[in-house]
Amino acid sequence: MGIEERMIKEIAEHLERCELEARETEKITDGIEISVEDAYEIQRELRRRKESKGHRIIGYKIGLTSRAKMKQMGIDTPIFGFLADYFLIPDGGEIRIEELIHPKVEPEIAFLIGEDLEGPVSSPLEVLEATEMVMPAMEIIDSRYRDFRFDLPSVIADNCSSARFVISPGISPESLDLRTVGVVFEKNGRILSTSTGASVLGNPLNAVFMLVNHLSKNSEILQRGSIVLSGGLSEAVRAERGDIFKVISPIGSVSVRFV
Ligand code: OOG
Ligand code: MG
């Protein structure tokens, strides 16, 4: 027995209002018990709200897939969220900081899926075969919870802190060992971290593999044309107005500026 449908709708509406008004809130589990299943139900309601306003869902994100992120956030279970069209910022583009609460930036490796992937899949190699391109990416997360303080159900209901992301065209993953793809993450010309693909679950393919199987539990497929963010490779870093963040890697580079 989960929480009531009315409650699911109310929480989704509340979290969306916080997002759109750039207003923080306490975690939703303060005072009521919410299971992980309920939390994904709230997230699906949030997604329906976006779609009913005419937004398109253009992909997914996986979070808490690296040791660095698990340690930073204190949760060691990967989480899955959706990406709406208006989250996407063009490479070299600008993010209006007043639209967000307390944005942080993290370097990621993104996937462009070239063929429908229907789970359950049995091997990450199936993901590799269906991948058209791997791309340099940054995710801008903006938890709606005060000080990014949340537990597993709260962060899932909040669409896993999703807010914006930036990608640039990458390369075909054929003949590429994603574990060894190095990523340099810079802020205002100074290196914040260096990491490799292996930082995400040993290989970012494993994250997409988990996503496909997560979607299949709900009879959803990972559709051709979807973008997938495989998870922060290193710690997320607070952004202030004027900051320029950059990811440099052998699969390409990408940058974004906060204004
Ligand atoms: C949750 C989202 C985590 C990632 O890449 O690990 C995430 C958070 O840290 O607020 O996007
Ligand atoms: Mg992320």
Of the bound ligands, which one is closest to the alpha carbon of residue 80?
A: 1
Report residue 1's pLDDT band, with 50, 70 and 90 as the boundaries: low
Q: Which amino acid is at 47?
A: R
Mean pLDDT of 1-13: 92
**Cα–Cα distance for residue pair 161/159, rounded to 1 Å:** 6
Alpha carbon of 227 to those of 27, 32, 137, 168: distances in Å?
Answer: 28, 34, 11, 11
* Binding site membership of 161 for ligand 1 (Cβ less than 6 Å): yes
| Residue-wise pLDDT tens digits, 148-195 | 999 999 999 999 999 999 999 999 999 899 999 999 999 999 999 999
The sign of the dihedral angle between the CA atoms of 136, 142, 147, 148 is negative
The backbone torsions φ and ψ at residue 18, rounded to the nearest 5 degrees and listed phi first, read -60, -40
Q: How many Å lie between the centroid of ligand 2 and the Cα of residue 131?
A: 19
Of all residues in the chain, the percent with pLDDT exceeding 70 is: 100
**Which residue's alpha carbon is at the smallest distance from atom 9 of ligand 1?**
73
**Ligand 1 pocket member 158 (CB < 6 A):** no
Q: pTM for the complete prediction?
A: 0.98
CA of 203 to the centre of ligand 1 (A): 17
Question: Is the sign of the CA dihedral 27, 28, 34, 39 positive or negative?
Answer: negative
